[in-house]
Amino acid sequence: MKLKAFLFLAVAGLCANAHSAVYSTSFSNLNNGDNVAGQDGWVINDDPNLSTVGPLITNDPTNYGGIGYGGPGYEPATATVDLSHAYGEPIVNAENVGTRASFNFIMSTSFDGSPAPLQDTFGISLTSGAANVFSVRFTPSIDSTPTSPNYLGPAWAISYTVGSGTPLPYHSAGVIPDSATAFNLSFTPGHFNLAIGNLSLGGLTTLPSSTIIDSFHLLWTPTTLGSSGPNALMITNLTLVPEPSTSLLLCLTGLGFAARRRRP
C-alpha cells in the first residue's frame, strides 16, 4: 500500500474512534409490559417488576422505559428504587472535551389510563462510585395560586445538586404531568448546562476533569414506603455520549489534508 493511501486510512480510523456513543436506546427491542431491569445492561436494587416498558402517548408507538406505578401487592421493598445502567465516561480526557446525557421523559400519572394525584418523588442522577456527580429531583408540588398567569396546576417541582453541594431549586413551574419533555445535561471542564423542556441554566462546578461518570440512574422514592402512588418516571431516546472533541476536529482536518495529497 502506498504511503499516502495508508496515511488516509490511518487518519480515518482515528477519526472513527474520536467521537463514539457510550450508550443509546429507545427501548425499541422491548415490548409493552416488559421489565427494563435485567435486560440490555439495566439493573435494579429491588424487584425487576418495578421497572416496565410501555407506549405512553396516544397514537405514538414510541416505547418508554422506567420505574414507578406502585399499588397493592406491588410495592417497593427499598426506600428508593434505583434503576441504573453503566456509563463509564470521564468528564474530560485527552480525546474528549465533555460529556452529555439526553433523553425525552414523561412524569406519568395515568400509566393505566386513569389519572392519579402526584404522590411519589423521582430523580435522575449521574454518579462516580458512590458519589453524586449531578442529580435532578422531581418532587410532587401544586401551585397554590390558581389565578397566577403561570398557573399549571399539579406539577413536579425541580431541584438539582452538583457533586456534594446543596440541592438547589430549578424552576417553580416544574414538570407538567403526562407531557413529553426533553432533558439535556452536558459538562465541559468546570461547567455544566442543564435543559428541561424550555427551561435552561448553566453553572460552574468544582468537579475534577478526571471524574469518571460510571452510572446513569433513574430513582423512585415513595412518599410512604409500602404505600406508593400510581406515578412513574419513563424515558426514551436515551443517549449517553461524549461531546464532539478537539481531536475529532483535528482528524477531520487531517482527512482533508490526506485527501488533497492523494489527488494527482
CA distance 139 to 123: 9
Instruction: Print pLDDT tens along the chain (264 aa).
Output: 554 443 333 334 434 444 445 789 999 999 988 999 999 999 999 999 999 998 877 677 889 999 988 766 678 889 999 999 998 878 876 555 578 899 999 998 876 666 677 888 999 999 998 899 999 999 987 655 555 555 556 788 899 999 989 988 876 568 888 889 999 999 888 889 999 988 888 999 888 878 889 999 999 998 777 777 788 999 999 998 765 543 343 344 444 444 444 444
- Cell numbers at residue 185, please? 445535561
The residues pairing with 219 across neighbouring beta strands, listed in sequence order, are 82, 123
Burial of 7 from C-beta contacts in 10 A (0-12 / 13-18 / 19+): middle
Helix (H, G, I), strand (E, B) or coil at 48: helix
Task: List b or e across 109-133, with b for residues whose CB sees 16 or more CB atoms inside 10 angstroms.
Answer: bbbeeeebebbbbbbbbbbbeeebb
Domain ranges of the chain: 1-19+244-264, 22-243
Q: In this structure, which CATH number among 3.30.9.10, 2.60.120.620, 3.40.50.970, 2.60.120.200 belongs to the domain 22-243?
A: 2.60.120.200
Task: Indicate the pTM of the whole model.
Answer: 0.80
